[in-house]
Amino acid sequence: MTRREGVSNDHSLMPLMRYTMKAVALAASAAFACITSMPNRATAASVVSAPYGATQQGQAVVQYTLSNARGVTMSCITYGGIVTRLDVPDRRGRRADIVLGFGSLSDYEKHNGKIHFGGLIGRYANRIADGRFELDGRSYKLPVNEPPNTLHGGPRGFDEKVWTVVRTFQGAQGAGVQLRYVSPDGENGFPGTLSVDVTYTLTDDNEVRIDYRAKTDKPTVVNLTNHSYFNLAGEGSGSVEAQLIMIAGSTYTPIRPDSIPTGEIVSVENTPLDLRALTPIGARLRSSHPQMRYAHGYDHNWKLNKNGPRNGEPSFAARAYDPSSGRVLDVYTTQPGLQFYTGNGLDGSVVGMSGAAYRQTDGFALEAEHFPDSPNRPTFPSTELKPGDEYHEVTVWKIGVR
């Protein structure tokens, strides 16, 4: 059994209110117990590719499936860099896909511009107020796709582009695929030709490591993330309200009614956003607190405490736990913030991989990223990228069971 540094030993000391005693006991033991390794199912890490159809414009799309020696597989497609599946055993060894998604490329093309299942988000993840920002004394106007604001880079963002595969690899470091997209100068109003490389690596330690790298030929702003929706009980299994969440953030950036940050960084104390101990996702979801009403649930950015390593390696950001299956997801990142989202826009109008109609709380997203609207907020961590510099951020999903 192993434990990653960055998780303190007292995260579950606070009692979990409004929850069954059995779940409380399971949550407490999960927080204190080491996460067990999954049994070996394969002989070595591997990468397999297969056609995934063609876009409406006729561009061929390929799916890459990464497998490790412990029975975990992850699939992604070159359209949007979308993670289409993440198959993980539960405590009894039964495998299930723990990310929401569609069964066809046409569904991703039809719906993902609003839902963003599993996609690589850019140029700017999250929101930019009024679709405007200034950089080096020049004003830039972006297309608005969540009036009055620009969300996730605007219409036809990075998760709706066909990425190029630079390489695949398999060996002692795991199995992986490196994707590239070159965003031309002025695309969706952003300055500079931006070359982006994202590498997915699945290791035999049951980690999905996502490396984001970018370079530009003009000063620009960059904020990249992955927008997977998780359901640790399995895709199509229903609400995640009984699953537990913990976020390593003592402060957050409160929002206005249009979901743009006010510019403040305030304590989570005595708010529904205090998730410093494992807490059922549904426990405070229907709170009348203004922040919960503005977002119709959780859709907020936490400033991460960054208590872990400070040598450029990812530090602990969040833990999610499903008492029913025993699956645990730990998130580590180099990013300064984490957006926790409870799928508030899912209204039953789209049907997922298993044939179930997706509704609010059928999945949750943990988007490691810089803060929303940072280009307009000088007090927030900078998202500026200049020629000659390299943007490099890392996020790790650590998968386990107990």
User: Is there a binding annotation on residue 116?
Assistant: no
Q: Is residue 7 part of a domain?
A: no
User: Is there a binding annotation on residue 149?
Assistant: no
Examine the residue annotation and report whether 227 is marked as an active-site residue of this protein. Answer: yes
Q: Is residue 10 part of a domain?
A: no
Q: Quick one: pLDDT band at residue 39, thresholds 50, 70, 90?
A: low
One-letter identity of residue 382: S
Active site residue: 367, 369, 370, 393, which one?
A: 367
Q: Is residue 13 part of a domain?
A: no
Examine the residue annotation and report whether 207 is marked as an active-site residue of this protein. Answer: no
Q: Is the peptide bond before 148 cis (omega within 30 degrees of 0)?
A: yes
Q: Is residue 353 part of a domain?
A: yes
User: Is there a binding annotation on residue 126?
Assistant: yes
Report the pLDDT averaged over residues 169-195. Answer: 96
Instruction: List pLDDT tens digits, range 79-99.
Output: 999 999 999 999 999 999 999
Q: Is residue 109 part of a domain?
A: yes
Instruction: List pLDDT tens digits, range 361-372.
Output: 999 999 999 999
Q: Structural domain of residue 254, as residue ranges?
A: 21-401
Q: How many of the other CB atoms lie within 10 Å of CB of 29?
A: 12
Give the pair of three-digit tokens for residue 277.
Answer: 């101990």
How many domains does the chain divide into?
1
Q: Is residue 14 part of a domain?
A: no
> Starting from the edge strand earliest in sequence, which strands make up the sheet with 46-54, in order?
46-54, 60-67, 73-77, 83-89, 95-97
Instruction: List pLDDT tens digits, range 304-324.
Output: 997 655 567 899 999 999 999
Nearest to 360 by CA among 341, 385, 343, 335: 343
Full-model pTM: 0.90
CATH code, 63: 2.70.98.10
User: Is there a binding annotation on residue 229?
Assistant: yes
- Contact between 328 and 401 under an 8 Å Cβ cutoff? The reply is yes
User: Is there a binding annotation on residue 197?
Assistant: no
DSSP per-residue letters across 216-258 = ESS-EE-B-EE-PEE-TT-TTS---TTSEEEE--SEEE-B-TT
Active site residue: 227, 235, 370, 393, which one?
A: 227
One-letter identity of residue 313: E
Instruction: List pLDDT tens digits, range 262-314.
Output: 999 999 999 999 999 999 999 999 999 999 999 999 999 999 997 655 567 89
- Contact between 177 and 199 under an 8 Å Cβ cutoff? The reply is yes
Q: Is residue 16 part of a domain?
A: no
Q: Is residue 2 part of a domain?
A: no
Instruction: List pLDDT tens digits, range 97-117.
Output: 999 999 999 999 999 999 999
User: Is there a binding annotation on residue 311?
Assistant: no
Ranking 118-122, 170-174, 251-255, 317-321 by mean pLDDT, the lowest is 170-174
